[in-house]
Amino acid sequence: MSRPHGIPLPSARRSSDSNETESAFDDDKQGQPRPREGVRQLTGAERVRTLVESNASVSLTLPGAFDQEEFGTGLPAARTVTPDGDVILLVSGESAAARAAAHAQDDDLTAVIEITDVAPVSVPHRIRGRAWLAGWLTPVRGDDRAACAALLAERRPVGELLGMSESLDAPYSGRPAWMMLRLEVGEISVDDLWGAERVDPDDLAAAEPDPMVDHETELLQHLSAAHGDRIADLCGLLGAREAQGMKGVPLALDRLGLRVRFTGGDPSAAFDARFDFPEPVSDICGLRRAMHTLFSAAGHP
């Protein structure tokens, strides 16, 4: 089956008088700080893959549906990415999306997944980014069901997997049946703290989620609550002028470094600074060593 193209995505687009990609953040005039140049970063495919595998809010819509209120699916219970780059979604068997996918059979049923990434700490401009994945939606059938269920259970263990039933109508143990849907991805767009760009679906299939994705929320909240003074002192690494009167909040964390949002009395003076780790980290132990090195450089032994 060939991948779909031409499905509109409500994100990155080209300006009529510029070669630069516009940002949804610019449209909203939120003043979202952008990163300073010269820092290491995850690729667009890695950032999207990480969002798909994260706990960020996700919604699924069917463009062109006659009644969008009816066909909006709400929040899938779980999702993951297959080795081929398809996105597997676990949805209620009673949802409009499940019914539409089952009714469509092998017809083209286009769908768009929107993922909204919100910082887990209190910070100005709290939305860190959005990603959109568009493609064809079909039920997971036959032998693929066991493999996809195992993949979901490995990546995102959820009790709903125990309630899956072959029937979309009959309840299972007093609960609605759950259904797995496959989105064969044709177009991907991301607009986040790094900027707006398109991502090739083949690159998504080859990318790996960041190893910190399952720990980021807890770690950022801990850093903010217990080590606020150390985070603020990181501003001293940027120079004396930048450090005057600035407060810092840990905003994002991945295997390559820590991003901090610095704010002062003037809201327009807010900016993000990215602090690279000496080397990429792959686990919590490596992260502790990297953070110790970072804080030592800022004057905290």
pLDDT tens-place values along the chain, 301 residues long: 333 344 444 433 333 333 344 444 443 444 455 555 566 899 999 999 999 999 999 999 988 655 544 544 457 888 999 999 999 999 888 888 888 888 887 677 999 999 999 999 998 889 999 999 999 999 998 889 889 988 988 876 666 565 555 443 444 444 447 889 999 999 999 999 999 999 999 999 999 999 999 999 999 999 999 999 999 889 888 875 555 677 899 999 999 999 999 887 676 778 888 999 999 999 999 999 999 999 999 886 5
Residues 6+ apart with CB under 8 A from 2: none
Distance CA 132, CA 137 (A): 14
CB atoms within 10 A of CB 166: 10
Identity at 38, one-letter amino acid code: G
What is the C-alpha to C-alpha distance for residues 1 and 232, in angstroms, rounded to an integer?
52
- Other Cβ atoms within 10 Å of 227 Cβ, number: 15
